[in-house]
Structure formats: C-alpha cells, structure tokens
Chains A and B, each alone.
Chain A
C-alpha cells in the first residue's frame, strides 16, 4: 500500500519569496514520485519526477524537489515565487514493479502568490 500526505492545503507566499510545498509518502517498495501542477480549469501537468536516479530533481518553471529516503519526503521548492506560480500542486507516488503503475495522489496544496 502507498499513500501521500501534503502538509498544508493552502500556502501563501509573497512574490519573490521562497516556495516550499511539503510532501511525505509511504510505500512498501522503492517509489517513483511526482509533482503535478493544476492551473484553474485545466488538467494536470507534470512538474518533475523522481525515478531513482539523482535525488535532487529539477523540473519546469524553476521548481525542484529532493528525495529524502530517511525522511520519506519529496518536498517541492522554488527560490523565488512568481505570480504565474499560483496554482494547485499535487504530489503523487507509484511503486516500481507494480503491474498497473497506479498513482496515489495527495489532497493537493493551493499556492497563492501575493504581489
């Protein structure tokens, strides 16, 4: 079984400030981890993914995430928030070797950026 916990359903940051969105996972086997972004009234778009290569993963739009096995975490960061980053962000986990490659999503974190 696998699960994802995203701490904070709503995060507000000032434009130019650090963005930190937290994700903790549980998985009985080595995981693949993903961050997706959803802009209003749109589908989900992949930001970045961890698939057991480098533990620091860089994604689109200046985002990155670090896989920490000891902490079972995969937090998403961006050094300087931009107004266009306002969206909802979802962390997701799937397990290597799972025949169906099912994704389990967290409940999402809505990011607001204050001018």
Chain B
C-alpha cells in the first residue's frame, strides 16, 4: 500500500495563477481532509469530505475549492493564488473511526 500520496511535492505560483493539488489514498477510506500548516499555527482544516461526491468547509475555506469525484481522490483547487496561500498543504484520510493518516505534504509558494 502506498497509503496517502500527494502531487506535486513542490510548486511555485505567481499571484493570480490557479492550480490543483491531488491527494490519493489506496486504503478505501471514506473520510478525506485538506489542511494547511503555517509556522506557529498548527494544522488548520481547509475542506473535508465524508464520502464520494460530498465536500464540506473547514476552518479556513476561503480561496479554495475541492472535489471528490472518486472515493480514492480528493482535489484541492486554488482559483486565484495569493501570497497568503503560501503554506505547506497536507492531505489526510481515515475510516469512519480511528486516526487520520497523512500524506507527505505539498510545499506551495505564491510570489
């Protein structure tokens, strides 16, 4: 099992550009999550999904969109990137109970 994988690992964007981050899991987990990690802030939940075709907002959803068209994939989109979105993004997944399993992260810089 690969567990949770994230693509890409690094990305540099210019202000106003768009991009999509891909998260994939091969554990047949129902729940998937997108977080951002900033120094001294811990992890903050952006959006999450409780199953294929469903998404919901987390703590800091503004400027991001998500889609869960397939159970194993959870996409995070930035429509018009801003410097404030410079961060490390983590995807996680879990079954209905139990711990979340995290991907290795995507480091995004917006210039």
> Do A and B belong to a common assembly?
yes
For the complex, what is the distance from the CA of A90 to the CA of B100, rounded to whole Å?
13
Instruction: Say whether A100 contacts B42, CB under 8 Å.
Output: no
Interface centre among A9, A103, A107 (most CB of B within 10 A): A103
Minimum C-beta distance from A96 to chain B (A): 9
Interface of chain B, main secondary structure = strand
Which residues of A are interface residues toward B (Cβ below 8 A)? 9, 34, 36, 41-46, 49, 51, 90, 99-103, 105-108
For the complex, would chain A's binding face be called helix, strand, loop or mixed by DSSP majority? loop
B residues sitting closer than 8 Å to A (CB atoms) are 4, 31, 33, 40-45, 48, 50, 56, 58, 90, 92, 94, 96-97, 99-105
Q: Would you call B102 and A107 a contact (CB within 8 A)?
A: no
Q: Are B45 and A102 in contact (CB under 8 A)?
A: yes
**A43-B105, A100-B31 known; A105-B94 Cβ under 8 A:** no
A107 x B96 contact (CB < 8 A) = no
